């Protein structure tokens, strides 16, 4: 038996409530189960029960066994003084033993083992026992009603959007409410496309947007600042004229803006297993183009209501030098184009959408989050092993709205086996 199952039984009241009594034979009536508490303290707060005609308001604590109260030393913790009922699967204390609050008063106990339908338990364990697929409900999924699937997909998507939006707001806090700096750093991180995301974020913090904006009319100085702070200008001078030019410019600019001590080193960037078109040098040259366009990333992201206009904004080409080179002094056999469609879609999903959601939450305005969801419906689905798992069990994925929901569902419900918190799992287990 798992404690999560006891939470499930209490939250949905899936147990026999006829002639309900505590373990000390006191009549019990449940008025309000309370609110599930995901923070420290009791499991459910603001509950209401009646014991022997006396109404109690307070918290509910849930454990597998009554003795867990003692094992966790709740009797010594003042945070549990407001517990009015201890809900357990099994009461393993003798009739002469009671659990108490810190002030010494006893806490009534409700045991659920004899009040739970065995079929409900069997269905729960049958679901968890599936070892053939990481999606535990794979074999039963075709029998689940479409309404339950849609409800869970939407719940997972909103959870994912708000979680990413919260990450943006956390970055905003470190930037003291500066949305421009936050959008710059968040977009830089996304430009790393996972492999170099950390290095891109470090670079954006080591080279402020304020400094970059001073040189938006000079592409050479912009590239000198970016490649210099990224650590790519540490090479010994060779016969590459452009490298020498950037080194000269960066030496002057780094001293002027006191940047030398904050610069990254080249070994912080990853090249392994990347195609030349995806090398960090190429990504950096593409990223520079956003500032050379002299446009505010934040304004573009939040004001563009047209999906195609945003796609066009991301369709940037690197400078002439980087169209012909994949690293300093190393010519490419073929001309290097701008961002590919898949990369642009990735930036729309991971850069634009979270900014829209974060700003929507910040302003308390649902218009932007609705726009974000509309954008996701216009982006093709991603391709990865998680989505392949879903397709194997018969789930049709048509666009990024679906794929983002299913990635969240898989990572935060399927892998940790949180079937009881999933609408789909709940519909399978419920009698």
Q: Of the candidates 70, 98, 116, which is a domain's last residue?
A: 116
Q: Which of 189, 37, 239, 159 is nearest to 411 (CA)?
A: 159
- Rounded alpha-carbon distances, angstroms, from residue 36 to 8, 14, 83, 179: 10, 16, 14, 34
Q: Are 387 and 403 in contact (CB under 8 A)?
A: yes
Give the number of other CB atoms < 10 A from CB of residue 76: 10
- Rounded alpha-carbon distances, angstroms, from residue 95 to 28, 60, 86, 260, 364: 18, 21, 15, 73, 54
In a domain, residue 364? The reply is: no
In a domain, residue 122? The reply is: no
CA distance 328 to 269: 15
For each of the chain's 431 residues, which pLDDT tens digit applies? Answer: 788 899 989 988 999 999 999 999 999 999 999 999 988 889 999 999 999 999 999 999 999 999 999 999 998 888 899 999 999 999 998 877 889 888 888 999 999 999 999 988 888 888 888 777 889 888 889 889 999 999 999 999 999 999 999 999 999 999 999 999 999 999 999 999 989 999 999 999 999 999 999 999 999 999 999 999 999 998 776 788 999 999 999 999 999 999 989 999 999 999 888 888 889 999 999 999 988 877 799 999 999 889 999 999 998 888 999 999 999 989 988 888 888 899 999 999 999 999 999 999 999 988 999 999 999 999 999 999 999 999 999 999 999 999 999 999 999 999 988 888 899 998 888 75
Same domain (yes/no): 216, 111: no
DSSP 3-state assignment of 404? helix
Confidence at residue 1, expressed as pLDDT on a 0 to 100 scale:
77
Same domain (yes/no): 100, 196: no
Confidence at residue 237, expressed as pLDDT on a 0 to 100 scale:
64
In a domain, residue 230? The reply is: yes
In a domain, residue 259? The reply is: yes
Q: Of the candidates 116, 132, 147, which is a domain's last residue?
A: 116
In a domain, residue 154? The reply is: no
Same domain (yes/no): 213, 103: no
Confidence at residue 155, expressed as pLDDT on a 0 to 100 scale:
95
Confidence at residue 414, expressed as pLDDT on a 0 to 100 scale:
92
Same domain (yes/no): 112, 182: no
Q: Are strands 330-331 and 325-327 parallel, antiparallel or unpaired?
A: antiparallel
Q: Which two tokens stand for residue 156?
A: 């997972």
DSSP 3-state assignment of 61? strand
In a domain, residue 60? The reply is: yes
Give per-residue burial for 37-58: e unless 16+ CB within 10 Å, then b: eeeeebbbbebebebeeeeeeb
Q: What is the DSSP letter of 335?
A: -
Q: What is the DSSP letter of 100?
A: B
The structural domain count of the chain equals 2
Q: Are 161 and 176 in contact (CB under 8 A)?
A: no
Same domain (yes/no): 77, 186: no
Which range of residues forms the domain containing residue 208? 175-339
Same domain (yes/no): 201, 302: yes
Same domain (yes/no): 219, 84: no
Q: Of the candidates 339, 360, 389, which is a domain's last residue?
A: 339
């Amino acid at each position: 038996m798992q404690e999560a199952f006891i939470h499930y039984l209490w939250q949905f009241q899936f147990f026999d409530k006829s002639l309900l009594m505590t373990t000390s034979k006191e009549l019990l009536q449940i008025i309000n189960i309370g609110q599930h508490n995901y923070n420290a303290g009791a499991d459910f707060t603001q509950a209401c029960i009646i014991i022997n005609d006396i109404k109690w308001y307070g918290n509910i604590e849930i454990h597998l066994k009554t003795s867990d109260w003692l094992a966790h030393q709740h009797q010594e913790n003042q945070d549990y003084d407001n517990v009015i009922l201890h809900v357990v699967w099994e009461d393993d204390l003798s009739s002469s033993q009671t659990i108490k609050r810190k002030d010494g008063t006893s806490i009534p106990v409700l045991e659920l083992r004899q009040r739970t339908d065995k079929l409900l338990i069997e269905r729960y364990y049958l679901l968890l026992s599936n070892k053939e697929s990481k999606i535990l409900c794979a074999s039963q999924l075709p029998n689940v009603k479409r309404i339950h699937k849609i409800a869970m997909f939407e719940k997972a998507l909103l959870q994912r959007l708000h979680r990413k939006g919260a990450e943006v707001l956390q970055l905003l806090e470190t930037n003291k409410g500066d949305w421009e700096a936050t959008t710059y750093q968040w977009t830089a991180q996304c430009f790393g496309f996972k492999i170099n995301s950390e290095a891109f974020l470090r670079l954006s913090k080591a080279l402020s947007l304020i400094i970059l904006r001073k040189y938006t009319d000079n592409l050479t100085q912009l590239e000198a600042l970016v490649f210099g702070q990224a650590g790519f200008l540490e090479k010994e001078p060779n016969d590459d004229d452009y490298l020498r030019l950037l080194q000269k410019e960066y030496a002057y600019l780094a001293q002027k803006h006191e940047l030398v001590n904050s610069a990254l080193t080249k070994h912080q960037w990853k090249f392994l297993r990347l195609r030349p078109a995806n090398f960090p040098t190429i990504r950096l040259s593409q990223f520079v183009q956003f500032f050379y366009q002299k446009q505010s990333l934040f304004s573009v992201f939040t004001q563009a209501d047209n999906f195609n206009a945003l796609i066009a904004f991301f369709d940037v080409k690197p400078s002439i030098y980087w169209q012909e080179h994949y690293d300093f002094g190393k010519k490419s056999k073929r001309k290097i184009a701008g961002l590919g469609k898949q990369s642009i879609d990735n930036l729309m999903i991971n850069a634009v959408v979270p900014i829209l959601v974060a700003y929507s939450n910040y302003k308390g305005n649902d218009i932007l989050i609705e726009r974000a969801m509309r954008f996701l419906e216009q982006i093709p689905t991603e391709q990865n092993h998680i989505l392949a798992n879903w397709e194997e069990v018969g789930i049709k994925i048509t666009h990024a709205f679906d794929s983002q929901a299913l990635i969240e569902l898989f990572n935060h419900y399927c892998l940790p086996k949180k079937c009881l918190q999933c609408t789909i799992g709940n519909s399978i287990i419920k009698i």
